[in-house]
Chain A
Amino acid sequence: MTIYYNFAYLDEGTKKKIRRTLLKAVAIPGHQIPFASREMPLPYGWGTGGIQVTAAVIGPEDILKVIDQGSDDTTNAVSIRSFFRSATGVRTTTLTREATLIQTRHRIPETPLHAGQILVYQVPMPEPLFKLEPRVSETIALHAMADYSLMYLKLYDQITRYGRIAIGYEYPVIVHDRYLTSPSPIPAYDVPKMHMSPALQLFGAGREKRLYAIPPYTRVIPLDFTDYPFDPVNTRQPCALCGAVESYKDEIVIDDAGNRQFICSDTDFCGQRR
């Protein structure tokens, strides 16, 4: 017996509901909107939020790219890509410039995105104040009042302890000069790519049941102090495979002697250069 699923797995009503929430999210850049997250055929933590967003916006003409930590061929990326190939029949690609829709976990592609592209982020924890203020009702009030001194307190504490703002991932940003927003666990080094991006950026948090968005050409400003400006770290070592200096690298142990190499985390970018 063959089971037929609807295009992109979710039924049309559900997809429509998610798209409506996304429209609201686009209208209030950086603001988290609750949504009725569905059960998906994979566990939370594997990108159920991102997958629902992708399922809601994907059309037959789309060309889909899926990356996990910058790579097109990790287990997670491969299985999400093949899930959508079988659930939609759309073309998939590893080329950033060719893709119309990119679902990502933990990275923004090195190749600059262009107008018309959509970047879908898988988000484990959408609330940037979560670790500082555990009461959800209070975080909602803080957002409503744009009171983000708690996050500045955290930055103050970081400088005091480490001499610099030592936030490597999930660096807090202010979107459209209004909402404090989590960029999802991408490296701080990727955050400038979000600012004024020509692409539409959508964020899905399945377990936390929230969506948010950054429309194209929107200001995304990292929080910092004037005398301790945002200054994300990246190795100055060139990529051992393609020689790129500016790209974000993974540090890889290459033998039993513990020797290390720095290699571009964006496999498509690295491959294009070789």
Chain B
Amino acid sequence: MNYSPAPILIARDLTLSFGALCALESVSLEIHPGEVLAIVGESGSGKTTLLNALYGALAPDAGEVRFGENGELDRCVQALPRQQLRHLHRSAWGYVHQNPRDALRMEITAGGNIVERLMAAGERHYGTLREKALFWLQKVEIDPKRIDDLPGTFSGGMQQRLQIARTLISHPYLLFMDEPTSGLDVSVQAGFLDLLRNLVSEQRMAVILVTHDLAVARLLAGRVAVMQRGRIIETGVTDQVLDDPQHPYTQLLVSSVLPA
């Protein structure tokens, strides 16, 4: 058995319905510090719903999500006062949207977008904010000269990298990502994934990554959880699950993307 440190987040029996539709059915999972967990499954299987329930943006009908940084899962997402949840979302956690326009402030310059979390945390020195913005632009491989340009003048791939910089600047220990690559041209996907993989290992954060792209899961994730109709039907180490799937649905999923 591998030694693995205590989880930083654990979900127990999450159940959530939209009217008659059961989008999550008794879903349980845990995530450990620094690990990347991919949630895969076909469209409509409940990936985004699960991610949002874990994040605290959707309230489940039953079950709970507990979390804590130091081995103690002493806090519950669903019981957290709104103010504390917001604080968590703005500093120790991060959420990367599929469409960067859902996260970026399009009327504010790239630099302003990047440093917003620092200002929320109380940074009141303009020079420091500029330095940090330049530093993170370089980190996400955007020309620092673009610091005062509006995000609307950036390509889709650059906007996505801007979103990453804006989120990672507070050094979150847990990052939620919903299909971060699916809006990008195939030509820029590889470069973006490379960058993402480097940042994730360098920042030592845990990531819950929703994707329908098994190649993305293979590249980034240590573990995968496979969803079908609101349930996790198989979970395990990425290579094992993708190379030797046990559940018939996973076998189908793997064979449909990786033709023999």
Which residues of A does B touch, CB under 8 Å?
A: 141, 144-145, 147, 149, 152-153, 156-157, 159-161, 224-228
State the 8 A-B residue pairs at the shortest beta-carbon distance, nearest first. Answer: A149-B120, A152-B119, A225-B126, A149-B119, A145-B83, A226-B125, A156-B112, A227-B127
For the complex, what is the distance from the CA of A225 to the CA of B124, rounded to whole Å? 5
Q: Please name all residues of chain A whose beta carbon is closer than 8 Å to the beta carbon of B148 when the two chains form the complex.
A: 160-161
Judge whether B109 and A149 touch: CB under 8 Å: no
Judge whether B112 and A153 touch: CB under 8 Å: yes
Judge whether A156 and B125 touch: CB under 8 Å: no
Q: A145-B83, A153-B108, A156-B115 are in contact. Are A228 and B120 (CB under 8 A)?
A: no
- 4 more contacts with CB within 8 A, not counting A153-B105, A156-B119, A224-B124, are A153-B112, A153-B116, A153-B119, A227-B126
Judge whether A145 and B86 touch: CB under 8 Å: yes
Q: Please name all residues of chain A whose beta carbon is closer than 8 Å to the beta carbon of B105 when the two chains form the complex.
A: 153
Q: Provide the B120-151 mask, 1 if CB < 8 A to any CB of A, else 0.
A: 10001111010000000000000000001000
Q: Which of A149, A161, A226 contacts B116 (CB 8 A)?
A: A149
- B-side binding surface: helix, strand, loop or mixed? helix
For the complex, what is the distance from the CA of A157 to the CA of B117, rounded to whole Å? 15
Output the nearest chain B residue to A149 by Cβ-Cβ distance: B120
Q: Closest CB-CB distance, B131 to chain A, in whole Å?
A: 12
Output the nearest chain B residue to A224 by Cβ-Cβ distance: B124
Judge whether B108 and A157 touch: CB under 8 Å: yes
Output the nearest chain B residue to A157 by Cβ-Cβ distance: B112
Q: Please name all residues of chain B whose beta carbon is closer than 8 Å to the beta carbon of A225 when the two chains form the complex.
A: 124-126, 129
Q: Please name all residues of chain B whose beta carbon is closer than 8 Å to the beta carbon of A160 when the two chains form the complex.
A: 109, 111-112, 148
For the complex, what is the distance from the CA of A50 to the CA of B112, rounded to whole Å? 37
Judge whether B125 and A157 touch: CB under 8 Å: no
For the complex, what is the distance from the CA of A196 to the CA of B129, rounded to whole Å? 31
Judge whether B86 and A147 touch: CB under 8 Å: yes
For the complex, what is the distance from the CA of A227 to the CA of B120, rounded to whole Å? 18
Q: Please name all residues of chain A whose beta carbon is closer than 8 Å to the beta carbon of B109 when the two chains form the complex.
A: 157, 160
Tell which of A141, A152, A157 has the most Cβ of chain B within 10 Å.
Answer: A152
Number of chain B interface residues as a range: 20 to 34
Q: Closest CB-CB distance, A181 to chain B, in whole Å?
A: 18
For the complex, what is the distance from the CA of A157 to the CA of B113, rounded to whole Å? 10
12 A-B pairs in the complex with CB atoms less than 8 angstroms apart? A144-B83, A147-B86, A147-B120, A149-B120, A153-B105, A156-B111, A156-B126, A159-B126, A160-B109, A160-B111, A227-B126, A228-B126
Q: Please name all residues of chain A whose beta carbon is closer than 8 Å to the beta carbon of B120 when the two chains form the complex.
A: 147, 149
Q: Provide the B72-87 mask, 1 if CB < 8 A to any CB of A, else 0.
A: 0000000000110011
For the complex, what is the distance from the CA of A103 to the CA of B126, rounded to whole Å? 38
For the complex, what is the distance from the CA of A90 to the CA of B172, rounded to whole Å? 63
Q: Please name all residues of chain A whose beta carbon is closer than 8 Å to the beta carbon of B115 when the two chains form the complex.
A: 156
For the complex, what is the distance from the CA of A141 to the CA of B127, rounded to whole Å? 30
Q: Closest CB-CB distance, A128 to chain B, in whole Å?
A: 16
Q: Closest CB-CB distance, B163 to chain A, in whole Å?
A: 16
For the complex, what is the distance from the CA of A147 to the CA of B87, rounded to whole Å? 9
For the complex, what is the distance from the CA of A123 to the CA of B89, rounded to whole Å? 35
For the complex, what is the distance from the CA of A156 to the CA of B123, rounded to whole Å? 11
Q: Closest CB-CB distance, B101 to chain A, in whole Å?
A: 17
For the complex, what is the distance from the CA of A226 to the CA of B123, rounded to whole Å? 9
Q: A149-B116, A156-B119, A160-B148 are in contact. Are A227 and B125 (CB under 8 A)?
A: yes
Q: Please name all residues of chain A whose beta carbon is closer than 8 Å to the beta carbon of B86 when the two chains form the complex.
A: 145, 147
Q: Closest CB-CB distance, A161 to chain B, in whole Å?
A: 8
Q: Closest CB-CB distance, A160 to chain B, in whole Å?
A: 6
Q: Closest CB-CB distance, A270 to chain B, in whole Å?
A: 37
For the complex, what is the distance from the CA of A225 to the CA of B123, rounded to whole Å? 9
Output the nearest chain A residue to B147 by Cβ-Cβ distance: A160
Output the nearest chain B residue to A225 by Cβ-Cβ distance: B126
Q: Closest CB-CB distance, A151 to chain B, in whole Å?
A: 9
Q: Closest CB-CB distance, B99 to chain A, in whole Å?
A: 20
CB under 8 Å from chain A, chain B span 50-102:
82-83, 86-87
Q: Closest CB-CB distance, A140 to chain B, in whole Å?
A: 12
Q: Please name all residues of chain A whose beta carbon is closer than 8 Å to the beta carbon of B111 when the two chains form the complex.
A: 156, 160
Q: Please name all residues of chain B whose beta carbon is closer than 8 Å to the beta carbon of A224 when the two chains form the complex.
A: 124
Q: Please name all residues of chain A whose beta carbon is closer than 8 Å to the beta carbon of B116 when the two chains form the complex.
A: 149, 153
For the complex, what is the distance from the CA of A156 to the CA of B126, rounded to whole Å? 7
Q: Closest CB-CB distance, B82 to chain A, in whole Å?
A: 8
Tell which of A141, A144, A157 has the most Cβ of chain B within 10 Å.
Answer: A157
For the complex, what is the distance from the CA of A160 to the CA of B83, rounded to whole Å? 30
For the complex, what is the distance from the CA of A160 to the CA of B109, rounded to whole Å? 9
Q: Please name all residues of chain A whose beta carbon is closer than 8 Å to the beta carbon of B119 when the two chains form the complex.
A: 149, 152-153, 156
Output the nearest chain A residue to B86 by Cβ-Cβ distance: A145
Q: Please name all residues of chain B whose beta carbon is closer than 8 Å to the beta carbon of A152 when the two chains form the complex.
A: 119, 124
For the complex, what is the distance from the CA of A137 to the CA of B119, rounded to whole Å? 22
